[in-house]
């Protein structure tokens, strides 16, 4: 939507494109690395300065604006930034990227005089940092904010342009980042030749406001929002027609047909959707009327879109959200690729139905379904047979929790029926959500329940210690297999939740400690973070792991953490 707004403004026949300056800002990209408020000010000031130099107008005001923004950023720097860097904490300002003092931290460590050195360094940096104007005695943040508004408005007036700031992904940010960005926007409100276009879920924005101001009542949140957003435009949710058309176009986009034909189909679909209020449909028959030579495999995917569109629209966990629809189809594509690579031979229609349940069904019901498959000699969920027969006959279906949901009734009606289908192949390609228990490592019902609980909430595994201890040793070994299988997907080893699961199972069965030790010893050195050292230090096998890490290329902070542990 942001890109469409951008394109539409540039394409307006009555407007000269040179009259607009566009700034695209994604606050989510800066989160955790920079102050979003300061970053937005700097992005705007930098863009105006570049455009002023190109257009040879408003140069002085644009340059002054950039200097004043830089002064505000410099004013936020203090001894705290360098001192934080020296202590290994995240720096709070520009010094984080410039202070060479950090080299000493990574090298010889800190002495007693280093804190004072850090403070002196921070004080000097404010006066000498390149590109930052000197802090004159008469300058102060309130005066600079007023001066920034004046410089900004005068620069735009001299350049004869309108600034359009396009802000995306604000609803992905944590509340502090969201509020910082909104406060920066507020600085430019009511200035001439300025517009901000914000694409965001207003419910998430209101949540950030509520969190920031201490759970104030809804009226105050709405007032804050209304004062900031002058023209709210709500994008209507997609209906079944749009979802079906979107899915079909995604299948077409991923196919090997010629690009020109893809664009022709897209245009015809858009034209047909514009008539949907009159009852015109975008379905498999319509697509085939446009693309008469569609290959059978693509037609099968159109059938998939026909079946899924109503549920994709009504299911509360998808609700026609294009991003979630595309994510669903991506997951389907990946699992089908796994199926082909491993020669599993999964039926795509069966996988679609199971993937839909996994995404939108009650998690407890999904666990029962997968447990039934694992416990059946032929991998079948036979208990579904009676329900599927009732649905096929149009009879009223009476279900108990966790099955008593409208989604389940609609799901049971989707073809194909599953009661007489071997679903082990589906679980094999879906193992990140449903552990496949083969006949060789079958678990008892208690073991299977514990495995699912551990994989779903690995950070709570320690609370299950007594139950894990009571399992037969072969079953704890199977559980450790599955836990380590999931752990291999972890890319950073500080204190991830899956580590708690590993430690809990090893504590219940000490003979498995060597497996955890071997697993951690084999992790790539770059993945190891200092936080793991104290986490595993009390384990009987930890010394073997530390010995291995000492002779590898783990980072200096990790080696320092191990050295400090030995001293203590």
Cβ contact 51:62 at 8 Å: yes
Q: Could you tell me if residue 82 is inside a domain?
A: no
* Whether residue 340 sits in one domain with residue 414: yes
- pLDDT value at position 134? 44
- pLDDT value at position 440? 43
**Which residues lie below 8 Å from residue 479, measured CB to CB, with a gap of 6+?**
443, 447, 450, 451, 454, 468, 471, 505
* Whether residue 273 sits in one domain with residue 150: no
- pLDDT value at position 501? 92
Helix, strand, coil % in the chain, rounded to nearest 5: 65, 5, 30
* Whether residue 561 sits in one domain with residue 515: yes
Q: Terminus-to-terminus CA distance in the chain, angstroms?
A: 57
Q: Which of 228, 260, 285 is the last residue of a domain?
A: 228
Taking the whole predicted model, whether its pTM rises above 0.85 is answered as no
Tell me the C-alpha distance between 413 and 307, whole Å: 10
Position 136 confidence tier, pLDDT thresholds 50, 70, 90: very low
Cβ contact 54:196 at 8 Å: no
**Which residues lie below 8 Å from residue 500, measured CB to CB, with a gap of 6+?**
458, 459, 460, 461, 462
The whole-chain average pLDDT of the chain stands at 79
For the chain, what is the domain count? 4
Q: Which of 378, 403, 430 is the last residue of a domain?
A: 430
* Whether residue 409 sits in one domain with residue 461: no
* Whether residue 342 sits in one domain with residue 292: no
Higher-confidence residue of 89 and 469: namely 469
**Domain of residue 491, residue span:** 439-567
Which pair of structure tokens corresponds to residue 426?
């589906």
Q: Could you tell me if residue 509 is inside a domain?
A: yes
Question: In DSSP terms, which residues pair with 164 in a beta bridge?
Answer: 22, 195
Q: Is the pLDDT of residue 439 over 80?
A: no
pLDDT tens profile 399-420: 888 888 888 888 888 878 888 8
Q: Could you tell me if residue 99 is inside a domain?
A: no
Q: Could you tell me if residue 224 is inside a domain?
A: yes
Q: Is the pLDDT of residue 426 over 50?
A: yes
Q: Could you tell me if residue 202 is inside a domain?
A: yes
* Whether residue 471 sits in one domain with residue 535: yes
Tell me the C-alpha distance between 218 and 439, whole Å: 56
* Whether residue 506 sits in one domain with residue 425: no
Phi/psi of residue 462, nearest 5 degrees:
-60, -30
* Whether residue 260 sits in one domain with residue 190: no
Q: Could you tell me if residue 119 is inside a domain?
A: no
Q: Which of 314, 334, 362 is the last residue of a domain?
A: 314
Position 170 confidence tier, pLDDT thresholds 50, 70, 90: confident
Higher-confidence residue of 74 and 244: namely 244
* Whether residue 242 sits in one domain with residue 180: no
Q: Could you tell me if residue 115 is inside a domain?
A: no
Spatial CA neighbour of 499 closest among 469, 476, 523: 523
pLDDT tens profile 212-263: 777 677 777 777 777 778 888 888 878 888 888 988 898 888 888 888 888 9
* Whether residue 299 sits in one domain with residue 189: no
Phi/psi of residue 311, nearest 5 degrees:
-75, -35
* Whether residue 243 sits in one domain with residue 218: no
Q: Could you tell me if residue 86 is inside a domain?
A: no
* Whether residue 162 sits in one domain with residue 51: yes
């Amino acid at each position: 939507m942001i890109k469409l707004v951008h394109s539409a403004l540039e394409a307006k026949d009555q407007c000269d494109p040179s009259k607009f300056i566009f700034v695209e800002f994604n606050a989510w990209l800066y989160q955790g690395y920079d102050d979003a408020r300061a970053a937005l000010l700097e992005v705007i000031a930098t863009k105006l300065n570049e455009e002023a130099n190109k257009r040879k107008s408003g140069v002085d005001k644009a340059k002054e604006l950039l200097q004043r923004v830089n002064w505000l950023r410099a004013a936020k720097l203090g001894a705290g930034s360098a001192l934080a860097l020296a202590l290994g904490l995240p720096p709070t300002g520009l010094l984080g990227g410039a202070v060479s003092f950090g080299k000493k931290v990574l090298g010889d460590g800190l002495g007693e005089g280093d804190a004072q050195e850090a403070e002196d360094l921070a004080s000097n940096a404010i006066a000498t940092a390149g590109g930052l104007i000197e802090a004159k005695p008469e300058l102060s943040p309130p005066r600079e904010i007023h001066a920034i508004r004046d410089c900004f408005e005068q620069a735009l007036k001299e350049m004869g342009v309108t600034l359009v700031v396009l802000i995306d992904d604000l609803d992905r940010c944590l509340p502090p980042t969201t509020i910082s960005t909104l406060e920066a926007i507020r600085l430019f409100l009511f200035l001439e030749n300025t517009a901000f276009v914000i694409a965001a879920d207003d419910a998430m924005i209101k949540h950030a406001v509520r969190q920031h101001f201490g759970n104030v009542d809804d009226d105050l949140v709405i007032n804050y929002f209304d004062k900031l957003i002058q023209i709210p435009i709500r994008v209507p949710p997609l209906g079944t027609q749009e979802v079906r058309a979107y899915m079909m176009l995604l299948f077409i986009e991923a196919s090997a047909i010629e690009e020109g034909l893809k664009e022709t189909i897209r245009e015809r679909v858009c034209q047909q959707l514009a008539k949907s209020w009159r009852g015109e449909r975008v379905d498999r028959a319509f697509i085939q009327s446009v693309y008469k030579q569609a290959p059978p495999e693509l037609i099968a995917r159109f059938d998939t879109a026909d079946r899924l569109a109503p549920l994709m629209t009504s299911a509360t966990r998808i609700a026609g959200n294009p991003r979630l629809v595309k994510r669903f189809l991506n997951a389907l594509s990946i699992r089908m690729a796994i199926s082909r690579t491993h020669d599993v031979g999964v039926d795509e229609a069966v996988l679609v139905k199971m993937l839909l349940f996994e995404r939108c069904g009650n998690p407890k019901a999904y666990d029962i379904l997968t447990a039934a498959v694992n416990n059946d000699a032929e991998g079948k969920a036979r208990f579904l047979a009676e329900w599927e027969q009732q649905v096929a006959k149009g009879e009223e279906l009476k279900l108990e929790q966790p099955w008593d949901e409208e989604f389940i009734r609609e799901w049971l009606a989707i073809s194909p029926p599953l009661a007489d289908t071997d679903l082990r192949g589906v679980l094999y390609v879906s193992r990140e959500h449903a552990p496949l228990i083969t006949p060789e490592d079958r678990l008892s019902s208690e073991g299977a329940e514990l495995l699912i609980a551990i994989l779903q909430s690995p950070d709570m595994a320690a609370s299950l210690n007594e139950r894990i201890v009571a399992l037969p040793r072969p079953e704890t070994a199977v559980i450790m297999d599955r836990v380590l299988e999931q752990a291999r997907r972890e890319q950073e080893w500080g204190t991830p939740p899956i580590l708690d699961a590993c430690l809990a199972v090893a504590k219940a069965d000490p003979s498995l400690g060597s497996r955890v030790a071997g697993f951690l010893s084999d992790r790539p050195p770059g993945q190891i973070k200092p936080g793991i050292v104290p986490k595993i230090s009390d384990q009987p096998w930890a010394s073997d792991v530390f010995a291995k890490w000492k002779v590898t290329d783990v980072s200096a902070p990790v080696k320092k953490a191990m050295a400090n542990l030995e001293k203590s």
